[in-house]
Amino acid sequence: EIDAHEDSFRATDEAGQALLNTNHYASEEVKEKAFLLNEDLGDSLDSVEALLKKHEDFEKSLSAQEEKITALDEFATKLIQNNHYAKEDVATRRDALLNRRNALHERAQSRRTGLEDSFHLQQFFRDSDELKSWINEKMKTATDEAYKERLQVYRVRMRRA
């Protein structure tokens, strides 16, 4: 069924890219969602490190917006407390903004956790590959006939000493 809709998916993706390229008013929101919905957690230590760097940059930009959100929240709260004529609309918009911010933080934290887990997994893979190589190297030495002969001579000398 997915294959049957592949053309539709491709067309939707191309239309979305066109909107992003023309600086559509919602392009930043789309980029943020796309960034956090990306399920790529890297397939090597280098790729995970690059993804973590990008995520840290994203978190920094998110933190930079936090001051604006806090100021907007405080301003909205004042309008509501002063019985502004549009206080219900202001409250609705403020709550929606705060809910979206909280959801964004949760998704960002979830992605960070996934990337950190992937980082540890890739470190384990790297370390185990290094250890496997070391063991293989030592096995070659241990099974080498010349090594066995030298070891036997050494053992004989140690018994005589």
Mind listing the pLDDT tens digit for each residue in 4-45?
A: 556 665 666 676 666 667 776 666 666 666 666 678 899 999
55-74 residue pLDDT tens: 999 999 999 999 999 999 99
pLDDT score recorded for residue 24: 67
pLDDT score recorded for residue 54: 93
pTM metric for this prediction: 0.66
Look at 18-22, 27-31, 84-88, 121-125 and tell me which has the smallest mean pLDDT. Answer: 27-31
Q: Cα separation of 49 and 72, whole Å?
A: 35
At residue 1 the predicted structure's pLDDT band, cuts being 50, 70 and 90, is very low
Please compute Rg for the chain using Cα positions.
29
Burial 73-87, CB ≥16 within 10 A → b, else e: eeebeebeeeeeeee
Q: What is the DSSP-derived secondary structure letter of residue 44?
A: S
pLDDT above 80: residue 91: yes
Q: Cα separation of 11 and 18, whole Å?
A: 10
Question: Is there a contact between 103 and 32 (Cβ–Cβ < 8 Å)?
Answer: no
